[in-house]
Amino acid sequence: MLIDTTAQIGPATVLALDGDRVRISIGEGEVWAAMALAFPYRPEPGDTVLAAGQEEAWYVIGVLKGRGVSSFVAPADLELRAPNGSIGLFAAEGVRIEAPEVELRADRLELAARSVFERFVRAYRRVAEAFHLRAGSVRTVVDESWDVRAGRITERATGDVRIDGEKIHLG
């Protein structure tokens, strides 16, 4: 007696999820399949996956077009290391970091952006040597008071200088 053990492999559409199983549409029918990927992925209905199987034993072995989430969870600390190279993070829609504390250490830090928005309750900046700012224009709005202390202050203008205040104390 011969038993047909021909397995099928091909694209399938995710229809539904139930725990670790996914309902997929493959060919003319629908079957339940187990996730068998080398990385953690939670498919979404409508994803196109690569499925392999026969009869009632089906497995999702790849993601061809997905919108689901890959979530790597570590029970404690997690380190990403590239001792002989670099680490790149690339995303089409954004990168988000959430933590009670974030610390960056580098010999050189370079930020390049079209726009920067910063919002703080309190901010402190300490520069040991020199702080240089080159800008097309600078506008500072302070709600309460502005206190500047320096060993020497030099201000130069190629045009007019205006000082407007209820009282101006010199000396």
Question: What's the CATH number where 43 sits?
Answer: 2.40.50.140
Residue 3 has pLDDT above 80, yes or no: no
Q: Is 64 left (phi over 0), alpha (psi -120 to 50) or beta?
A: alpha
pLDDT at 45: 97
pLDDT at residue 170 in the model: 87
Please give the residue range of the domain that contains residue 37. Answer: 8-65
In a domain, 40, yes or no: yes
Taking residues 148-159, what's their average pLDDT? Answer: 93
How many structural domains comprise the chain?
Answer: 1
User: Counting runs of H as helices and runs of E as strands, what totals does the chain give?
Assistant: 0, 5
What pTM value is reported for the model?
Answer: 0.63
Q: Please check the confidence at residue 72 and state whether its pLDDT lies above 90.
A: no
Cα separations in angstroms, 107 against 54, 80, 84, 121: 57, 19, 17, 27
Residue 3 lies in a domain: no
- Asked whether residue 41 is domain-assigned, the answer is yes
**Backbone φ, ψ for residue 23 (5° rounding):** -90, 125
CB 30 within 8 A of CB 57: no
pLDDT per position as a tens digit, 7-64: 899 999 999 999 889 999 998 899 999 999 999 999 999 999 999 999 889 999 999 9
pLDDT in the model for residue 6: 82
pLDDT tops 70 at residue 120 = yes
Residue 120 covered by a domain? no
pLDDT in tens, 76-115: 999 999 999 999 999 999 999 999 999 999 999 999 999 9
Q: How far apart are CA 26 and CA 70, in angstroms?
A: 23
Report d(CA 69, CA 72) in Å as an integer.
Answer: 10
Q: Is residue 26 part of a domain?
A: yes
Q: Tell me what pLDDT residue 10 has.
A: 94
Q: Could you give the CA distance from residue 59 to residue 158 in angstroms, rounded to a whole number?
A: 74
Q: Which pLDDT score is estimated for 4?
A: 63
Residue 32 lies in a domain: yes
Question: Please, are residues 62 and 49 in contact by the beta-carbon 8 Å criterion?
Answer: yes
Model pLDDT, residue 67: 93
Q: Is residue 164 part of a domain?
A: no
67: left (phi over 0), alpha (psi -120 to 50) or beta: alpha
Distance CA 128, CA 171 (A): 30
- Residue 157 domain-assigned? no
